[in-house]
Each structure stands twice: as structure tokens, then as C-alpha cells.
Amino acid sequence: MANILAEVSAYLAKICANRPIHVIIFTALAASITYLSIFDYYLSTTSQFLDTQPLSFYHPSGNSDYSKWVQVKDSSDYASSDHLALVPIKFKKADASELPKNENFITGIDETEKLLLTSFNSAPETLESLTYLTNEEGVQFKIRKSHRIGRYYEYLKTLVVKFESLIKGAEPFDIILVTFAYIAMWFTFGQLFYEMKKLGSNFWLAFGSLLASAFAFLFALAFSTVVLKLNIPLISLTEGLPFLVATIGFKHKVAFTAPVLKALNSGNKKDISIVISDVVRSQAAIPLIKEQMVIVASFLLCSMLASNLSGLINFCILSAVILTVDIFFTFTFYASILSLKAQINKVHQEVTLVQALEEDGFSETAAESIASSSESPASVFHYNSSILSFKVAMIAGFMGLHLFALGTSWLYDDSASVDSVIDTTSVGQSLSKSVAANIPIGKMGTLVTIMPTKVYSKINLFTKVEDLTAAVLEKLSKAITDPLVSKFLFVLAGISVAINIYLLNATKTHLASTSSPSRVASVQKRKHSKSIDLGSRKSITSQDTEVVNSLSSKQASSTIISKPSQNSSNDNFKEAQIVEEASSDDQSSSSELDSQIESIEIRPLDELVDIMKAGKVKECGDEEVVELAATGKLPLYALEKQLGDKTRAVLIRRRAISRLADAPILNSSSLPWKHYDYDRVFGACCENVIGYMPLPVGVAGPLIIDGVPYHIPMATTEGCLVASTMRGCKAINAGGGVQTVLTNDGMTRGPCVTFPTLARTGAAKLWLDSEEGQKTIKSAFNSTSRFARLQHVQTAMAGTLLFIRFKTTTGDAMGMNMISKGVEFSLKYMVNECGFEDMEIISVSGNYCTDKKPAAINWIEGRGKSVVAEARIPKEMVQKVLKSDVDAVVQLNISKNLIGSAMAGSVGGFNAQAANLVTAVYLATGQDPAQNVESSNCITLMNKLPNGDLQISVSMPCIEVGTIGGGTVLEPQGAMLELLGVRGPHPTEPGANARQLAKIVASTVLAAELSLCCALAAGHLVQSHMNLNRKAAPVEEATSSSATPAVAAAPALTSATTESSPAEGLSASDVKRLEEGSKICIRS
């Protein structure tokens, strides 16, 4: 049974998540109809509380006698009598002296109240003529109509009065209990928003949960009152629902949401609807249904036991129905909200990534290709303050409009204010004596009908705004209810829904096409088959493949089955085929391949040139295209454009260059080229591609950085580097890990400009340094990008040359292309708009940046990310893990990294091997390796703490990294960024991923610095000890003819020698430890 429920729930969730707009709109329409039905039901059942029927009193003919006034129910029985209308008039916020006068007014009990006495038949016309009244001082009053803004003040007053009356008639314990229930209910609402915020959504998930529960309540209430015929008064709902909400809460929706978001954010390649369905089937359905059904059974049991309490029975049944409908809505309506929001945000992330890549210099085609195939590990739901404010404002506006337009209330009505007319102190109801005395008695008797109270207020700014708003809404309401307009709006709404559904389906198709491995493979296969399908004329590619396969089968010592990743571009080889790694004699392979190629007939060059001019190069065979390229007829850089197949272009370029450069090695697999996504390379990373260069990638770590463990990828060919870093990580983790501080974040570009005279150059410098100049340039620069934000401009003069150093944040991109675009625009803006028409731009980069060159300005001012990383290593770890001593490593750091670098005149080179680690991490994560020049600027400091522990820090002011653009778009490098948790743009805080990567780089340098310095220090101690042994040899030989441990001779040294030796008192275990330490990773 449980499995059946799980499968049914999963099926419903899949259907609703696959068609979210259909489900949401249908449910909303059904809920609206249900709401109106419930509204009508309760309005009819509570009409006895509203004095909507006017009261009528009759006095027979003759003299006026108060005792003869009687209340009548049917006024038609007195049709021959004089029928008068008595309308109570109230004047708001007006003294008796301010009241206007009228011949038809009589005074009521209160001096501020008047009664309008007029013929019943002419009452509407009389009231219409009295819409405006003016007193003797010229102050105008106007009738205050129902359903206006001011009426809600009366609602509030009436609510307070009724609340007070309820409190007076209730027990203190009941008051405390109900108050506590309402507080608990609002706390539950707040807790829902808090829990959903922890899951990654600040608004929509919580709002969707509330909406789903509200709809469930509406349907359950309608079912209970209409189908089950339960009598559930409003007072029971107002008292019971807070207890139900506070007791049950929304934990089931949070429990359902958490695994769904985890699955969506895990990089799952399945369709969103399938992901939600799988979560329902495997994790959510059975426990949630079981929990809800236990509560439902409890309510039903309670209704059976409370046989004498009809109100409690009805509410328990209602609660059971609400919970049943709510769990159904959780797996249907709420699942559709999750799906819709996930799909919208997925598209939004892709669009944002495309924009960021285009700003970083990528072509539009390359940016779209990369974005469509990238899977961001960032949260599906994220926060945007401006969007959230708009959402809240729209919801508040909708609710306000609803209240304003549908202002009918059970709490307040004008007709109830007849206290000045009716005497309620006696048994029954009768006219008050003061009023009855002013009513004339007709020959056939008099019938008086008391009409609803009319309220007048002074005309002021508020009433004018109210009238204008009401008039606009009234016109709008009439327009909407017009038969033609309403049909047009309905059709328009239907078209809008259809368009949204179409766009959503198109988006889903696009996402599926970019994430399905089989689809990507089939598309590439069709592309290749099209390029080689020449009818009777075969492409050389297929024959080459057979040759290579046959050769590899003979020569390879082993074969590896390889399946390309879904994001990689397929080439001439099928998915899951054998990847051949020839292990011997590439020359023989090349010669056999050449012999196969020579046996194929190639058309004349002139004919091939004509085909090329006709734009049909892709119809030529591979060897024919090679002939065109080798003879210079077809440029090598144009192969991708001409062939429309980037993988085939790489293969042909290899063959052409192997012929041009007489390098048959390119016809072998020595430089690999297969199974690579060249779509990400073309227009983004490299030109004239002939393959890719594999580099071994090692992993160091885990290294705890600011409390979070990281496994750090390193691409290097230097042995012992990863092992050395691993050793440093182990020692650092023992001390609690690395603590980092990012002190600066700003990429720079320093253009060079010149002016005709020195005075003009100086004027430009002074203007740029001024507050006005900084503000103007910042505004111009920031207009060029959604991500780049100019921080400040720094200037320097050299004769008539002016160097301007722009420093700007660039989001998660390294940002050189982004900032260059902003710099070019800012300089043009200076020329065209700022009065510097005589300025000449020498170069957009004047080496004042400074990029990829050692420079003191980078060391002092910083460039990119400036990070300081620090760690504290217990002295025991220095001895046991690093095989060294704290004093020795501190002294080595001073002598080597500080004094030695100073003697060499180094700028930023006060370290042991920062460049090693920076380059290794840069290569592994797709950074620009040439920027290792300035990124490796580092000063390493070490101190011995009072407790004997080692304190080490690195300060790196120029770490230039990004997590989008450049080499990060390549799948292997992107995978390493994902390993670190910083792939792509950060969804809520632009630049956060790049800043975290900079901290990781600095921490890795710290670990390697520690390990190498300790190894060097250990080697120094061993050498000192060996020197000590040689000095003690004569004593050793005189005292013993047998071999004696070296440390045994140490006490025989003179005191002077012992004091001068750094190896004094070394035991045999110390010597062994230092020897091990000096050998570990010393090559690094």
C-alpha cells in the first residue's frame, strides 16, 4: 500500500511539475470560484447580524399620540397612508455650530445629528440633491459613500468595539488561550520564512507554501460545508484555525522542499520534473503521508469521542479534511511552484553567465554555447532585494485593491446607525419620543420608514483624493464588466497564458537539449555524418579511423574504454569507443597512415579552389581540404568557419601543418586531439588549434581554510610539489587550519595618454584627481558593464604623458577584457564630453597597470585580490610531521626569504616558492598562467610564539583570478573549480567565488612555504651535525676503535665549539628525524 501511494504521489508530482503553469492557473481559478462560493454561503448565514432591512413604523389617523406608534413588517398593508422616509444624518468631525441647515432637517437626540424627513417616493431625488451641503460659513460637506478608503477606519473601530464586547463576555483563561494561539500562529508563519531562507529562498518558497495551504483550506471548507453539510460558524474558524496552524505548521512542506532543492542543486542532469518525482518517490511521499494520516486519524477519533459537542465534531472533521487536501496540494500545486521557479532561475543563471562571458570578451556564439552546457552548482533559488520589493508591493497592491473594490464587510454597515431614531430601552423597538413629536400625522395615517444612515464629512484633500480614486476604479470596473471588453480581456489573458506556456516549454526543450548526453552525441554524430556524406565519394576521415584503430590494436599494450562527458564535443569517433594510446613506434603508424592517404584520388587544385569560392568546402574530402590549406588557398585560421565542424578542422589543420613543417609526428597520437570540446575553445581560448596538452593533476589536502576543508587541484610536472604541499596541509590542519583576510579587490588597467603641452597634461591630472573628475569618470565607466564598478582613478605624469590607473571590481571574472572596454569608453568620454578634445590616446595599456610584468606599484597598491593568510602550527607538529624545529625554520625564513631576497633587490619575491603553487593552481583551474608574474608576489613571515608554536603567514597583494571567462570555460578546468565549490558566477553576491578562489590560492602557497622551509631547515641542521661529527672524529678514534654514534662524540668537544654549533645536544632520533625532513620534498 505504501509503495502504491508513493508511486501515485510521484506520478502526480511529475505531471504537475512538467506542466506548472497549467496547474497553477487551473488551481487559482478553481480556488477563486470556491472562494466566491464560500463568501456567498457565509454572507447569507450571517445576514441576521446586519440591519439591511429598513424599519417601518405606523401611526393611525387622528391626533399624534406616542403610544400609537407601532412597528410593522409589511408596509404594503398601509398603502393608502402617507409614507414618509426618515434618514438619519451624521456629520463627522463637526461641531453643532458648523452644521448646515435645511428645511427638511429635524434635530435628533444629539445636536450633531440631523434627521431628514421627506416623502418616501421622492427620497432618492431628495438625497441626490443634498449630495453637497454648505453651512453659513461657506464650508462644504459631502455625503460619504460606501466602499471608500475612509470606511476602513470605521471597520477598525467596529472591530475594536466588537472585540471589547467579546472580551467582556469571555473567561480570562479563554482570552489568554486564544491570544497565545494567535501569537503562535504568527510565529509559525515567521518560522516558515526562516526555514525557507535557510534553504535558499527568501520569499517565493515560503509564499508558495502559504498559498498552497490557503487553497487547501478553501477547498476543504467548501467540501465540508457543501458536501458534508457541516455547520462551521465563523467564530469557530477564527478561534480554531490559529491552534491548527500552530500545532501542525508547515514542517511537511519544508521536509519536502529540502531534498528537492538538494537534488536540483547537485548538478543532476535529469529534467526538473523527473528530479521532483524521484524525490517524492524515494524520500518524501511515504513519511509525509504517514505523518499526516496519523494526525488525520487523531482528529477523526476526537470527533467520534466528542459525541455531545457538535461544534468540536465539525471542526475536527474540517481539520482532517484540511490536512488531507493539504498533503495532496503539497505533491501537486506546490510541486508545480517548485518546478516553475527552478526552471525560471535556471534560465536566468544561463542568461547572466552569457552576459558575463560577453563582457569578458567572448563571442556571442561561444558564450551561449558555454552557458548552455554549464551546470552551475549554485542555489536554484536566490535573493534579489529589488525583485522582492516589487513582489511584496504587487501583492500588497492586489490585496488593497481587493479590499477597496469588494469593501462589503460583516463588521460594519451604515444602516446600523439608527440609535438616535429608535428607542431600544423598552420592550421591542419603537420611535424615540423626540423624533415622533416632529412627524405629522396624515388623514389616512402615517407610515415612517427609517432609511440607512447617511454620513457627511468636510471636503478636504483626503476626500478629493478618495473621490478621484473611487471614480477611476468605478470607471475601470464598468469597463471590465462591459460584455465586449470582458470578452476581449478574457481572450487576451488566454493568449498571455498560452504564450507563457509556449515559452516555458521552449525553455525546457532548450535545457534538455543542452544537458542530455545522448542528444549531444546524436547532434554531433549527425553533423559529422553530414560532413562526410559525399555520395559515392568517401571521406578520408573514416579510412583514417580504421587505420588508426587497426594500428592501435596491434601496438597498444592495453585499451581503455572511455565515454566522453556530456559537455564534450563529439568527434569522428563514436561514443564509448576504445581510446587508443599507441605505446610504440609512432613513425610506423604515421607511414602506414600516409600510404592509405596517398591511395585516395584527389581532385585538381583548380577545381577545389572553385568549390571553395562557391562556399562548399565542407563537401570536400579531408585530404582535399588539406591540399587547399597546404597550398595557401585556404587559410588555416578559417577552417572552423569553412567546415562548420571544429573537430574536423583540428584534424585537417594537424595534417596540413605536418606537411608544411615536415612534422609527421602530428599524424600520430603523441599530441592528443580526440574527445575534446572545441566549441568552448573556438572564439574564446585559442586559435589555430591542433590538439590539447595533457598535464598531470594532483590533489593536495584537505586543507582547512576559514573552517571549511578544501581539496586543492594542482597541475604540475614538478615532482614532489604536491607531496610537499600535502605535508604542509597536514601540519596546518593540526593547528586548526588557515585563517584568511581579503584586504583589497580591484583589477587595474593603466592607459597612457598625451597632450600638446605640459600645462594641459597637468590640468587633466588635476581634474582626474578631483572629486568632480573621479565622479564623472566613475559614472562613465560604470555605464559600460553590469558587473564592473570603478573604485578610483590614480594618475602619474612623465613629461606630457599622463598615465591613468583605473581600479575596478569585476564580479567573478578576472576582468581584463571587461575593464578594457570601460577604459576605452571613459577615455572617449573625456575627449567628447569633458573638454579634453586635444587628448591623444597612446595606448589603452600603458604598462601602468601593471599586467604580467614585475612592478612595485602592484606590490604596493595591489592588483586583483589582496589576501593575507595565517596559520599556527604546534611545535609538536613541526617536529613530528615536518621533521624540523621552530627556531631553525624561523631563522631560515629570515635569512633566505627576507635578507636573501633583499640582497637580490627583489620586488615581491620574499618567499621560497610561491610561483610554484600559483602556477600549479592556475593551470588546474583555468586561470591565465602568465599572470603568475604578479600573482606570485608574496612575503612569507614566521615567528615563534611564547608557547613555542610556529606562526606563519603569507601576504599576497596581487592574486589575479576569476571563476568565469578565460580557461575556466573549459570542462576539465571548470570541473576543478566545481571541486572547490567556486565554479561560475556567484548567484547572490557577485565576486564572492573569485574572492574565495584567491583565498584558496594564498592558503595553498602558505602550506607549500611551510613544508619547503621546514625541509630546508632540516637539511641545514643535518649538515651542521655532520660537520660536528667530522670535527669530533680524532677524539672518537682515540677513545674507541669501533664505530660510535656520532652524537656520542659531541660531549667531547670544547665548550667553545659546542656553543657555536647549532647541532648541540642532538640525539640519534633527532638526527634521523632531520635526515628524513631534509629529504622530503627538498626538490621543491
Enzyme catalytic residues:
718, 852, 928, 1025
Spatial separation of the C-alpha atoms in residues 703 and 709, rounded to whole Å: 5
SS3 label, residue 743:
strand
Output the CA–CA distances (angstroms, integers) from residue 668 to 353, 553, 570, 583, 919, in the order listed.
38, 14, 19, 11, 29
**Residue type for position 672:** P
Burial class (CB in 10 A: 0-12, 13-18, 19+), 602: middle
DSSP string, 894-908: IIIIIIIHHHTT-SS
10 Å CB burial of residue 99 (0-12, 13-18, 19+) is buried
Task: Tell me the backbone φ, ψ of residue 738, rounded to 5 degrees.
Answer: -100, 140
- Among 817, 63, 861, 999, CA closest to 440: 63
Name the CA dihedral angle for 106, 110, 111, 113, rounded to a multiple of 10 degrees.
Answer: -60
CA distance 114 to 134: 15
Amino acid 89 reads I
E strands, 861-937, in order: 864-873, 909-910
C-alpha cell at 476: 475601470
Looking at residue 537, the DSSP 8-state letter turns out to be B
Cα separation of 1079 and 1015, whole Å?
7
CA 517/CA 512 separation, integer angstroms: 10
Tell me the C-alpha to C-alpha distance, in Å, between residue 497 and each of 20, 493, 926: 12, 6, 43
Q: Are strands 938-944 and 909-910 parallel, antiparallel or unpaired?
A: parallel
- Whether the bond into 850 is cis, omega within 30 of 0: yes
Of 348, 366, 362, nearest to 962 by C-alpha is 362
**Is 57 within 8 Å of 69 (Cβ atoms)?**
yes
Residue count (the chain): 1084
The amino acid at 788: A
Phi and psi at 246, nearest 5°, equal: -65, -35
CA distance 604 to 601: 10
First to last CA, the chain: 65
Cα 370 to Cα 351, 679, 816, 880, 1070, distances in angstroms: 11, 8, 19, 48, 56
Angle at 156 between CA 152 and CA 157, to 5 degrees: 115
Q: How far apart are CA 793 and CA 777, in angstroms?
A: 8
Q: Which helix (H) or strand (E) holds 314?
A: helix 310-331
Nearest to 641 by CA among 674, 600, 685, 688: 688
Alpha carbon distance 520, 508 (integer Å):
16
| CA distances from residue 958 to 716, 856, 998, 1002 in whole angstroms, order as listed | 22, 11, 9, 10
734, three cell numbers: 593540526
For cell 603553487, name the residue. Answer: 917
Can you say how many angstroms the Cα of residue 190 is from the centroid of all Cα atoms in its chain?
22
Specify the residue for cell string 562557391. 614
Q: What share of the chain is helix, strand, coil (3-state, %, to 5)?
A: 55, 15, 30
Residue 1 CB coordination number (10 Å): 5
